[in-house]
């Protein structure tokens, strides 16, 4: 049975084999890999196995949220790992069925709370596809700029906390943490100047943006970029030229390209495994079709490769923002008709899927219109969070490593549990 997607009401649906998108959406792209089921339980107190059972979490480092992994240990060697999520479940998708399309943005802000801008953009892109709402060119440029700034901020936060996960490998861990958070603060200042908020912004809406670029903001952006550009090379040197860092990350936590494709893993993890795919270049949206996106890749698929890819993505994002900031076109920042008229005209019975390249991979939203209050709410809504797919690799990757490696591997995967649990 082939699934079909109707991106806009009134247009014929496409078969799955006709869709453009990641490799695993293309028919026959990746055959299932024959692997042992990592979720088969081991008896906790099997005298023949003589294994120790250790609960790592739900409160522990290396996850941006609460997450539990049940580890079966032979000495310090991990034999099996069984992850458990659900500690942050809020029922977001069901909650959205009772809210108007225009009320949902601040709700999804909190899913990936490290990159709220991406949540806002992904959900509104789906609503715009459903409703046929046009986004003005100026708004598309602003969305692209803030998306890349958010990518920089998210990667800086990850890199800093990863340094803490490594501990003594990097001057006690605090050195890289303080450096990264110093630069991240520059991005937070830019978002505050643009939206009035430093964390949950509520700046995007159906058909465009709520906030226009304030006077002098472009100059602030360039100043911040200059600082980050001057230091991003130092981050890579600090990490990859450190013998202890290399020892703890090279060859550790390998996630190969086949496993990524099987599990639907996207983003830096996919590109660190040698799969050259990035939605900004391969399925462009916003203003990405007007600029060249260079995609950093590595082939090792280990913790070191994931680190290098993310650092180089910071450098690439600074280049993209600098290229865009002086070319923002004039015009309105929101293009829809009065929202109630649009909703009543176009939402009933339609469905759409829209996705973007978040700092962690493909963040998508599938929505069916025609919900409560004369179609002003979604009938059904489903979010595709990249962290869920990333974390699904742990039962395959952790076994065979020592307990001390588990923290490093978890940190390099970078799951945000708010979007995993939702």
SS (HEC) of the chain: CCCEECCCCCCCCEEHHHCCCCHHHCCCCCCCCCCCCCCCCCCCCCCCCCCEEEEECCCCCCCECCCEEEEEEECCEEEEEEEECCCCCCCHHHHHHHCCHHHCHHHHCCCCCCCHHHHHHHHHHHHHHHHCCCCCHHHHHHHHHHHHHHHHHHHHHHHHHHHHHHHHHHCCCHHHHHHHHHHHHHHHHHHHHHHCCCCCCCCEECCEECCCCCCCHHHHHHHHHHHHHHHHHHHHHHHHCCHHHHHHHCCCCCCCHHHHHHHCCCHHHHHHCCCCCCHHHHCCCCCHHHCCCCCCCCCCCCHHHHHHHHHHHHHHHHHHHHHHHCCCCCCCCECCCCHHHHHHHHCCCCEEEEEEEECCEEEEEEEECCCHHHHCCCCEEEEECHHHHHHCCHHHHCCCCEHHHHHHHHHHHCCEHHHHHC
Residue 30 placed within a domain: no
Q: What pLDDT was estimated at residue 331?
A: 86
Residue 200 placed within a domain: yes
Categorize the per-residue pLDDT at 62 as very low, low, confident or very high, splitting at 50, 70 and 90.
low
Residue 119 placed within a domain: yes
Categorize the per-residue pLDDT at 212 as very low, low, confident or very high, splitting at 50, 70 and 90.
confident
Picking from 166-175, 311-320, 399-408, which range would have the lowest pLDDT averaged per residue?
A: 166-175
Number of independent structural domains in the chain: 1
Does residue 50 carry a pLDDT above 60? Answer: yes
Residue 26 placed within a domain: no
CATH number at residue 186: 1.10.645.10
Categorize the per-residue pLDDT at 68 as very low, low, confident or very high, splitting at 50, 70 and 90.
confident
Q: Does the model's pTM come out above 0.75?
A: yes
Categorize the per-residue pLDDT at 7 as very low, low, confident or very high, splitting at 50, 70 and 90.
very low
**Domain containing residue 374:** 4-9+37-421
Digit-coded pLDDT (tens) for 282-340: 999 999 999 999 999 999 889 999 999 999 999 999 999 999 998 888 988 887 654 55
Residue 54 placed within a domain: yes
Residue 160 placed within a domain: yes
Highest mean pLDDT among 53-57, 175-179, 400-404: 400-404
Question: Mean pLDDT across the stretch 139-159?
Answer: 92
Does residue 1 carry a pLDDT above 50? Answer: no
């Amino acid at each position: 049975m082939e699934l079909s997607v109707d991106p806009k009401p009134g247009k014929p649906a496409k078969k799955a084999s006709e869709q453009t998108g990641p490799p695993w959406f293309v028919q026959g792209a990746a055959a299932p890999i024959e692997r042992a089921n990592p979720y088969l339980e081991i008896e906790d107190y099997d005298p023949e196995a003589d294994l120790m059972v250790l609960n790592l979490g739900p409160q522990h480092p290396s996850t941006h949220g609460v997450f539990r992994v049940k580890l079966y240990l032979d000495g310090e060697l991990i034999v099996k790992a069984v992850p458990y999520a659900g500690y942050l479940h809020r029922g977001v998708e069901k909650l959205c069925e009772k809210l108007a399309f225009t009320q949902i943005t601040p709700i999804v802000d909190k899913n990936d709370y490290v990159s709220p801008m991406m949540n806002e953009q992904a959900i509104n892109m789906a609503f715009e596809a459903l409703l046929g709402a046009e986004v003005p060119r100026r708004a598309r440029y602003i969305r692209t700029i803030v998306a890349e700034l958010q990518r920089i901020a998210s990667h800086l936060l990850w890199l800093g906390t990863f340094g803490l996960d490594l501990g003594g490998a990097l001057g006690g861990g605090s050195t890289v943490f303080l450096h990264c958070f110093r630069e991240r603060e520059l991005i937070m200042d830019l978002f505050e100047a643009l939206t009035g908020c430093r964390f949950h912004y509520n700046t995007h809406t159906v058909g465009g943006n709520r906030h226009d670029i304030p006077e002098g903001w472009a100059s602030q952006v360039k100043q911040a970029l200059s600082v980050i550009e001057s230091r991003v090379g130092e981050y890579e040197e600090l990490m990859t030229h450190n013998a202890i860092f290399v020892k703890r990350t090279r060859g550790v936590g390998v996630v190969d390209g086949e496993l990524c494709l099987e599990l639907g893993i996207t983003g830096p993890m996919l590109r660190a495994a040698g799969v050259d795919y990035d939605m900004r270049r391969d399925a462009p949206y916003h203003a990405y079709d007007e600029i060249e996106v260079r995609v950093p890749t590595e082939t090792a698929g280990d913790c070191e490769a994931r680190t290098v890819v993310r650092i180089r993505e910071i450098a690439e994002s600074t280049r993209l923002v600098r290229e865009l900031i002086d070319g923002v076109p004039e015009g309105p920042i929101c293009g829809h008709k009065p929202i109630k008229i649009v909703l009543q005209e176009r939402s009933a019975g339609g469905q759409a899927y829209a996705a973007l390249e978040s700092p962690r991979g493909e963040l998508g939203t599938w929505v069916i219109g025609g919900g409560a209050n004369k179609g002003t709410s979604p009938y059904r809504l489903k979010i595709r969070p990249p962290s869920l797919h990333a974390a699904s690799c742990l039962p395959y990757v952790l076994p065979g490593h020592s307990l001390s490696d588990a923290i490093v591997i978890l940190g390099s995967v970078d799951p945000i549990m708010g979007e995993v649990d939702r």
